[in-house]
Structure 1
Amino acid sequence: MNADFNPATLEVLGDFDAAHEERLRARVRELIGQSFGPPPKFTVSEWADDRRELSSEASSEPGKWSTSRVEPSRGVMDACSDPEIELVTAMISAQSFKSEVILNLAGFHVDLDPCPMLILQPTLQMAEAFSKDRLSTMIRDTPVIAAKLGSHSRDSEDTILHKKYPGGHITLAGANSPASLASRPIRILLADEVDRYEASAGKEGDPVSLAVERTTTFWNRKIILVSTPTIKGASRIEASYLESDQRRYFVPCPKCAHEQHLQWKQVRWPEGKPEEARYHCEATDAETGEVCDYAWSEAERLEAVQRGRWIATRPEVKGHAGFHLNRIASPWQALGVMARDFVLAKPHPERLKTWVNTRLAETWEEKGERADGGSLLGRREDYTTTAIPSGVGTIVCGVDIQDDRFEVEWIGWGSDDESWSLDYAVRYGDPNNPSFWEQLDHALLREFPHPAGIDMRVEAACIDSGGHFTQQVYDFARPRLGRKVYAIKGIGGPGKPIWPPKGTKNAAKKITVFVLGVDQAKDLHYKRLGVKEPGPGYCHFPNREPYEKPYFDGLTAEKAILKVDRRGFTQKEWIKDRVRNEPLDCRVYGIAARLSLGIDMSRRLSALRQAAEVNRNAAPRPTAAGPSLREGAVLAPAAAAARPRRRVRSSGVQL
């Protein structure tokens, strides 16, 4: 192809001079070079250092990109431009450089090696947000990209999710959208946060496999998978990393020069002072047995990271580069801040899980998912329904409806999700009989005397509507929605929130149903049962009937197993290994009921303490606590009316 042309053919564009002609000639030569010539001998990191600009909206340090500022990113980026490597897996801590690797690789190909690319995000909404907040700002602020993808170009055919440029395009898609995974062949797949993808894109199967399938026609394809990990045994990114050459980032000790990859077990701090955390060298002299144990200063840690290098721990694996890096190697956060966050998260299983996933970039191994009912029986405490613990700030109910009975648990919740089971009852009857529902209504109106001198009433209740009496549950809950009595349905599967952002309206039944993520609730329940000491997340149980072995067997009646489905995807599944699991169901519904309440628990408990102080200084008044529901009676409306009208409401304590 001849890069020269006759200027007369351009007269339709208007007058032009020699300078215009030369610029046009240069542009034509550039396009021809891009289309038919080999890409320049640039690595991705070299391209980024030379041409990438960071945007103020997306970076704390806008301006010229510098790979040396976050040195571990160099190895990951350059693996993406290594012709010997087809697959790159990066299991890296959150807020490190995952998104920048994706952007730099996209920019490199737009500028030097044009081809069709796909950036895959967990959802279509996240793909749109990534395009608007990250990709578009890079295009705008990086001149060589703006010249080819900028909205000011007459050749641009941009949409939010599809951007064309000479020689290729960038398509953005959601892993939850089968349609966006079934079109257009691609050469470069950039899959972001793969552990957050659904197990299947609609009914089409694993979204990663669907996306990879689109690269099969390219001999020089690249597949890049990046993510923070999630659950051990069910993590896509961990499974891919374990199949790779498993590279780790080794840094030299400032004192002895021993190279080591950074591990949390080497981080230590004085008792009660995590902000003074230091990294300690792991080296041991092979001859003398002397341990280095040198405590690195912050400056020495950062310098060691600058001098680090990636080393493959399985060098026999070819064509698949895997990278694992935690936040100890981050220049963006002091080690003391990371240690402080660990101390704050440690008492809370869910927060600790997030910390392990996002800071250490390690999978979370679920523990306590088969709790021992016998050990729970042995830790019962002495408290009654007539003297509930002072730490209780709100009371909720979980209700399970069976063909011949309802079972109900009253749960008191306090600070940091510490809980007290206040009572548990089984009431037999026919759900087709109005008296059955009258008994349930009395149960939900039950009051408990608090040490603050206040009679506390149930503030929220979740009632299972998924059995044989769905319509009856709807009829009961509909007029009581103002009391936060909710008709609920449980749904299994990963990623479903325990309490939904909003209810699902059933227009035909004139009811709003709340769909609970029961698998997530069971995860949380078993973690809390595993907490050994009173405090955040601890579950208290009273030393009286019906809290005997059958109750605790029912409370721990299910276990989680990992199963591989027919698509080859590993998922966690809860199965019953005991006949009766109603106490577990009631507790799950009670967890959801607590999450439905927007209570400032610190403020609530502070008000209760003040009320208790006033109550202690006041003259004693007669108390007349009603009999337990379990003992065959319910608290009649007349008895409730006879009590002083002082109750806890959702907005705080009303005296």
Structure 2
Amino acid sequence: MGRRSRGLRFRKYPVTPYQKQALASLQPPEDLTVSEWAERYRILDAKTSGSPGPWRNDKTPYLVGIMDELCNYETEEVIFVKPTQVGGTETILNSIGRIIQQDPSPTMVVYPSDTLGESIKKNRIDPMLNASPELKRRYHESDSSVSELQFDGMYLVIVGSNSPSQLASRPIRNLFLDEVDKYPGASKKESDPISLATERTKTFRNRKIFKTSTPTLKTGHIWKAMEAADQIRHYFVPCPHCGEYIELVWQQVKFPNEDGMTYADRAEFAVYECQNCHGIITDRHKPEMLRHGEWRTVEEKTQFPRKVAFWINTLYSPFVRFSEMVKAFLTSKDDPDLFQNFTNSWLAEPWEDTKLKTNADLVLERQTTLPEFIVPKWARLLTAGIDVQETSIYYTIRAWGNYLTSQNIAHGQVYNFAEIERIMNLQYAREESGEPLVVSLALVDSGDNTDLVYDFCASNADWALPSKGSSHPMDTHFRISKVNKTDSRAYGMQLAIIDTGKYKDMIAGRMRKRNGTGSWMVYRGCDREYAEQVTAEHKVNVKSGQRTIQAWVLKTSHADNHLLDCEVYAMCAADMLGARTFHLEELEMPPRAEAQKEPAPTPEENWIGQNDGWLSEG
């Protein structure tokens, strides 16, 4: 048999490119992690990168552990809390590239807005696809749209967090959420964007969710996600002097503080002092330190983590020198607006220092000795604020005295207007004298159930007025408009337009005053639910177009602030009734000076007065 086989001849047939491609498609995908895939196949485009060419993990070695965690079968969710410009977006792009080539499955990327999503698709994703032959070969560009890209065996959806219908429209296995702290909160009709998108992944047992953002507040999405993680990791690097692994922290950055030195001069001498050996670390040491760095667990809640969080600050960035960070600190430290940006974007920490910080404990400290429903003896009138929701109505009643001294005497939640009408028409007894007082004016929010509110106010026009918050800051605290709904019973009725931010400033400022003249107080035994609601917001910096402004926002996305709105309406009602000038009415008017009596005319003056025409008679 062996001899005969040696005489056999085998005919060779040429293999066409089509057959090669078909055979290649039958091969199993390479077993590569995200970082390995990126180094082998990712090409950085000159348009989007300062270092075009093949991706190199040693440029940003701290990203390796984050990217590869997405390949850990046990990990379901990865959270990356970061400063700006350290590679969060590149982590997403590399992960998408590996999915397209090695593990095709439905994938979604959510950006803060549709506009940003379109921009990143055009300027980051398309160049990545065109620069990598393996990705370009799998991309069905002719079948794709701006928001949905088609590939072999999968689709990639690119949406903005401001498009709820797109977030909840299809099943997704891989979900990437970029800059989540810029997402809008939940609305009355829809859940928050993160919840909506996450719902799409429930049908996949091997789902992967990646969240990343620069933090804003402790109550922001990314910081809350990190606090809820099963495991939190920080990046540790070896000191070039003692070899001990240390975490780079802002407190160890040192720079001179000599008289006569400018901020720029001080920044140029910035160095890092090792917290272990006190050795001086400069920018030239950083690349080698980063290459030998490693992620270490600093907090662990379970032995079987499913949610893993990573955190670093700008000190780890290979693209930023210590001096740049110090200069940013020095030029921002005296300006709260700028310093919030430094805290968020450089330190990757949440901003807490607000000019008007409120909390529930502070409200409960404002309790007086008077129980609920009793009017203080100093009170001049009662006003009320009413917030109408879809299923219930919230109200508050507040007593007002000189210098805007005030005290809440009642608040609550009812389920129909008939009950509100009964409460507003009750008589409330004054302290000591028992003199009855009723609500002089109640402002009713007409933002929801507008027709119903208008009808209610028309029926109770002697004490109720419709109101609504202004969509823009106003020059005044309120202005009076007219109801212009011609088919409403309230047509032509006064409508209060309120700058709610100004009244929230006033409430927060007076809340900090100790009980007494000019303070904002509550009755004895006030409940914590009320205290939580009236402090459900805080004032922080927010982006408005190209500007940064201070605005009142919810501390948590699902907090109730209905009673805060009620207090705003009650204060505006007092303002409309002249409460700011009550104290002026009691000032004693100076006694009127008695008119001086003119001296009696002389006989000559009498004669002239009686004969003032004597010259003309001649």
Shorter-chain TM-score tier: 0.5 to 0.7
Q: Distance in 1 between matches of 2:89 and 2:252?
A: 28
Residue 260 (str. 1) matches residue 252 (str. 2): no
CA distance in 2: counterparts of 1:65 and 1:524, whole angstroms: 54
Q: Which amino acid aligns with 2:180?
A: V
| Paired letter, 2:314 | R
Is 2:78–2:211's contact at 8 Å kept on the other side of the alignment?
yes
- Looking at structure 1, the residues matched to 26 and 191 of structure 2 have their Cα atoms a distance apart, in angstroms, of 40
1:631 Cα offset (Å): 7.7
1:337 is aligned to 324
CA distance in 2 between counterparts of 1:507 and 1:254 reads 74
1:138 CA drift (Å): 1.4
Give the secondary structure class of the aligned counterpart of 1:323: strand
Distance 2:119 2:337 in 1: 27
Q: 1:560·1:572 contact (CA, 8 Å) conserved in 2?
A: no
Measured in 2, the distance between the counterparts of 1:41 and 1:194 equals 31
The DSSP-based 3-state class of the residue aligned with 1:313 is strand
Partner of 2:536: 561
* Structure 1 pair 186–526 and aligned structure 2 pair: CA distance change class (3 A): same
1:256–1:551 Cα change, 3 Å: same
Structure 2 residue aligned with 1:369: 357
Q: 1:108 to 1:125 in 2, by over 3 A?
A: same
Q: Deviations over 1:562-605 (max 9, x none)?
A: 79xxxx9645666878998799989xxxxxxxxxxxxxxxxxxx
Displacement after TM superposition at 1:220 (Å): 2.0
Q: Is 1:179 aligned with 2:165? A: yes
1:112 to 102, 115, 119: 102
- Corresponding residue number in structure 1 for 2:339: 352
Aligned partners of 2:177 and 2:211 also within 8 Å: yes
Give the secondary structure class of the aligned counterpart of 2:203.
Answer: coil
Alignment of 1:535-554 (within 5 A): 550=517
Report the CA distance shift for 1:361/1:242 in structure 2 as closer, same or farther (over 3 A): farther
Whether 1:274 aligns to 2:261 is no
State the Cα distance separating 1:266 from its structure 2 match. 1.4
Which residue of structure 2 aligns with residue 203 of structure 1? Answer: 189
1:65 aligns with: 55
Amino acid at match of 1:191: L
Q: Cα offset for 1:467?
A: 7.6
Distance 1:517 1:60 in 2: 46
Structure 1 partner of 2:126: 136
CA distance in 2, matches of 1:171, 1:262: 37
Alpha-carbon separation, structure 2, partners of 1:147 and 1:280: 50
Q: 1:220 to 1:246 in 2, by over 3 A?
A: same
Name the CA distance, whole Å, in 2 between partners of 1:302 and 1:241. Answer: 30
2:279 pairs with 1:304: no
SS in 2 for 1:246: strand
Contact map agreement 2:217 2:223 (CA 8 A) in 1: no
Normalising by structure 1, report the TM-score. 0.56
Q: Is structure 2 residue 304 aligned with structure 1 residue 293?
A: no
Q: Residue 223 of structure 2 contacts residue 350 of structure 2 at CA under 8 Å; is this kept in 1?
A: no
The separation in 2 between residues aligned to 1:361 and 1:200, in whole angstroms, is 25
- 1:268-326 superposed Cα distances (whole Å, 9 cap, x missing partner): 2111513422222112xxxxxxxx22221111133322221101223534232210111
- Give the stretch that moved more between structures: 346-355 or 96-105: 346-355
Q: CA distance change for structure 1 residues 516 and 631 in 2, over 3 Å: closer, same or farther? A: closer
Note the alpha carbon deviations across 1:596-620, whole angstroms, 9 max, x for none. xxxxxxxxxxxxxxxxxxxxxxxxx
Within 2, Cα distance between the matches of 1:497 and 1:25?
65
2:504–2:568: 8 Å Cα contact kept in structure 1? no
Cα 1:150/1:178, change in 2 over 3 Å: same
1:246 to 215, 221, 232: 232
Q: Measure how far apart 1:251 and its partner are.
A: 0.8
Residue of structure 2 equivalent to 1:398: none
Give the structure 1 partner of residue 18 of structure 2.
24
1:518 to 501, 508, 530: 501
* Structure 1 contact 89–240 (Cα < 8 Å) conserved: yes
Cα deviation for residue 122 of structure 1 reads: 2.0
How far has the Cα of 1:370 moved from its partner? 3.6
CA distance in 2, matches of 1:581, 1:228: 33
Decide whether the 8 Å contact of 2:41 with 2:134 is kept in 1. yes
User: What corresponds to 2:44 in structure 1?
Assistant: 54
Instruction: Give the paired residue count.
Output: 437
| Aligned mates of 1:149, 1:552 — CA distance in 2 | 66
Give the whole-Å Cα distance in 1 for the aligned partners of 2:252 and 2:325.
Answer: 13
5+ long unaligned stretches in structure 1: 1-17, 284-291, 374-401, 405-423, 427-464, 471-487, 501-505, 531-547, 587-627, 633-655
Q: What CA distance in whole angstroms lies between the structure 2 residues aligned with 1:56 and 1:339?
A: 30
**In the alignment, residue 194 of structure 2 is paired with which amino acid?**
V
Q: Which residue in 1 is equivalent to 2:143? A: 157
SS of 2:196's equivalent in the other structure is helix
Report runs of 4+ in structure 1 exceeding 4 Å deviation: 465-468, 496-500, 506-509, 513-517, 521-527, 548-554, 568-586
- CA shift, 1:561, in A, is 3.3
User: Which residue does 1:322 correspond to in 2?
Assistant: 309
Secondary structure in 2 matching 1:169: strand
2:74 counterpart of 1:45: no
Secondary structure, counterpart of 1:257 in structure 2: coil
User: Partner of 2:143: helix, strand, or coil?
Assistant: coil
- The 8 Å contact of residues 490 and 518 in structure 1, kept in 2 or not, is answered as no
Change beyond 3 A, Cα 1:46–1:497: farther
CA contact (8 A) 1:90 1:323 kept: yes
Q: Tell me which structure has the larger Cα radius of gyration.
A: 2
Q: What whole-Å deviation, never above 9, does each CA across 1:110-157 have from its counterpart, x for those lacking one?
A: 112111101111222222222122212211222221222263xxxx41
Deviation at 1:360, TM superposition (A): 1.4
- What is the aligned partner in structure 1 of residue 176 from structure 2? 190
Partners of 1:578 and 1:106 in 2: CA distance: 45
Q: Which amino acid aligns with 1:350?
A: D
Aligned ranges for residues 604-643 of structure 1 at < 5 Å? none
Aligned residue for 1:173, secondary structure, equals strand
Q: Distance in 2 between matches of 1:569 and 1:579?
A: 19
Deviations 1:63-114 (A, max 9, x none): 2211110111111111112223221111111111110011110011111211
One-letter code of the match for 2:272?
Y
Aligned to 2:469: 490
SS in 1 for 2:144: coil
Whole-Å separation in 2 of the counterparts to 1:525 and 1:30: 70
Give % identity: 28
Q: Secondary structure at the match of 2:171?
A: coil
The alpha-carbon deviation at position 31 of structure 1 amounts to 3.2
Asked if the contact 1:466–1:490 (Cα under 8 Å) also holds between the matched residues in 2, the reply is: no
Query: Do the aligned partners of 2:536 and 2:561 also contact (CA within 8 Å) in 1?
Result: yes
Which segments of 5 or more consecutive residues in structure 2 lack a partner in the other structure? 1-12, 258-262, 364-380, 384-402, 406-442, 451-466, 476-482, 487-495, 522-530, 539-554, 574-580, 586-618
AA in 2 matched with 1:22: T
Q: Deviations over 1:426-485 (max 9, x none)?
A: 9xxxxxxxxxxxxxxxxxxxxxxxxxxxxxxxxxxxxxx9989x9xxxxxxxxxxxxxxx
Letter in 2 for 1:369: K
Aligned position for 2:260: none
Specify whether residues 296 and 524 from structure 1 end up closer, same or farther in structure 2 by C-alpha distance, changes over 3 A only: farther
CA separation of 1:467/1:222 partners in 2, compared to 1, >3 Å: closer, same or farther?
closer
- In the superposition, relative to structure 1, how do residues 575 and 274 fare at CA in structure 2: closer, same or farther (>3 Å)? farther
Q: 1:280 to 1:466 in 2, by over 3 A?
A: farther
Q: Provide the TM-score with structure 2 as the length reference.
A: 0.59
How far 1:172 sits from its partner (Å)?
Answer: 1.1
Contact persistence 2:44–2:54 (CA under 8 A)? yes
Distance in 1 (alpha carbons) for counterparts of 2:49 and 2:187: 32
Letter in 1 for 2:238: P
> CA separation of 1:366/1:49 partners in 2, compared to 1, >3 Å: closer, same or farther?
same
